[in-house]
Amino acid sequence: MPVNRRDFVCGCSAAIAALAGARFNSLVFGQPNPGDHPILVNVFLRGGMDGLNFMMPTTNGDRGFYEAARSSLQVPVGEALALPGGFGLHPSADGLHGLFQDGRLALVHACGLQTVQTRSHFDAMEYIELGTPGAQSISTGWLTRHLNTTPGLPPQVVLPSVAIGSLEPTSLQGSSITANIGDIDDFNLDQGPWDWRSAHRTSLRRLLGNGSTQTHVRALDALDSADIIELSVSGGYTPANGAQYPNNSLGDAMKSVAQLVKLDLGLRVATIDFGGWDTHNGQGNGSGGQFSSLVGSLSDAMTALYTDLDGPGNPNDASRLTIVVQSEFGRRLFENDDDGTDHGYGNLMMVLGKEVNGGQLYGTWPGLASHQLFEGDDLMVTTDYRRVMSEILVRRFGNSAIDTVFPG
């Protein structure tokens, strides 16, 4: 059944706009004032998140199909957090549910790779992060191409792009302006005793100052970033507005993003990876299990980041932020014999931010009847993930070069 089936007005490229699927109203509002540069945080749930247990049908015929397919894994109607249109959120996503009710979170049905079908983790992630479904030969990721084409990016921004974690994601492949930060507390020139480190910095700056190549410039920017971050975090960090980050790697990553936003280093793009979603066994239902724990961590971390940046002490920070959550694919409708779910197709996407037109469900829900499923097993993809990203890039960043960001 169609949900919020309205005109897609973002003005993105003909190639993206021609893709079949749901039409959107404005998923995000217009670009903010030039001085309040927008920031995109791309959270990738590695492993294939089960969108059908994150947001499940609670009424009508699709509820019956869902319960029949998931006798052990179903989230009971009484535990689901109510959404419009006969859907509910997983009970561990109470923080996200509150943000949805406040109009800050938008949920998009049945997203994914609409032009390519694969159940391979590697291929699906490559296609999505390169931004070229069906092709893996391009040398740059889609976020790199966005950074290269977005208007208004000053040449001397200290830290325009950051990958939180030890590895740079494929979406930022080929970027010369991205820093990898595993732990913001350790982002420094950690070489020997303090006196020696100071001398080392001075020597490096003198050496790099004699060059004018892009490598020299970026190395100096990295030193500037390290100096500013090390000085700022040396006294510890207290989140604002009573925000409470979960005590895990995702909580640390979200907290690092908040700190970088507040340091005003020119951040435009940040990526966060959160793994563990390949729930082939022991997935659990609404009341417990590994999936419930993952959902709770994600909900708590996203809520903490938004709360931390949304307050009187930093009134513009939450307005600058747009958080997009996606996974490489969903899970099959039918549970397997190991109390888990196997690789599927269509999946949920989430968009969070103060400038997000939230409190709504977007996209077209394809239904769970056997004739509506992809290959009789999976939720169909009705919205190409590039449509969601394209509207954000055009409306929030003023980047109309969508044919370059998502070629083909």
- Give per-residue pLDDT as tens, 4-60: 323 322 333 444 444 434 445 577 776 555 557 899 999 999 999 999 999 999 999
For residue 221, the model assigns a pLDDT of 63
Which residue range(s) make up the domain with 125? Answer: 14-182+241-405
- Give the whole-angstrom CA distance, residue 54 versus residue 80: 9
For 255, residues 6+ apart whose C-beta sits below 8 A from its C-beta are 184, 237, 239, 245, 304, 305, 308
Angle at 353 between CA 40 and CA 401, to 5 degrees: 40
- Give the whole-angstrom CA distance, residue 169 versus residue 130: 10
Residue 210 lies inside a defined structural domain of this protein: no
For residue 159, the model assigns a pLDDT of 87
End-to-end CA distance of the chain: 29
- Give the whole-angstrom CA distance, residue 102 versus residue 68: 33
For residue 16, the model assigns a pLDDT of 46
- Give the whole-angstrom CA distance, residue 290 versus residue 296: 10
Instruction: Report the pLDDT averaged over residues 72-81.
Output: 97
Residue 383 lies inside a defined structural domain of this protein: yes
For 224, residues 6+ apart whose C-beta sits below 8 A from its C-beta are 158
Q: Which H/E stretch holds residue 226?
A: helix 214-233
- Which neighbouring-strand residues pair with 2? 364
Residue 224's pLDDT band (cuts 50, 70, 90): low
Higher pLDDT, 128 or 215: 128
Contact assessment for residue 172 and residue 161, using Cβ atoms and an 8 Å cutoff: yes
Of 35-44, 65-74, 218-227, the least confident = 218-227
Residue 350 lies inside a defined structural domain of this protein: yes
| pLDDT at 169 > cutoff 70 | yes
For residue 217, the model assigns a pLDDT of 59
Percent of the chain at pLDDT > 70 equals 78
Amino acid in position 188: N
Residue 188 lies inside a defined structural domain of this protein: no
How does DSSP classify residue 249? Answer: H
Residue 25 lies inside a defined structural domain of this protein: yes
Residue 257 lies inside a defined structural domain of this protein: yes
Q: How far is CA 303 from CA 15, 139, 271, 278, 323, in A?
A: 35, 35, 17, 23, 11
For residue 7, the model assigns a pLDDT of 31
For residue 285, the model assigns a pLDDT of 87
Residue 235 lies inside a defined structural domain of this protein: no
Q: What is the CATH number of the domain that holds 268?
A: 3.40.720
What's the total number of domains in the chain?
A: 1
Amino acid in position 80: A
Residue 364 lies inside a defined structural domain of this protein: yes
236-295 confidence digits (pLDDT tens):
789 999 999 999 999 999 999 999 999 888 899 999 999 999 999 999 987 789 999 999
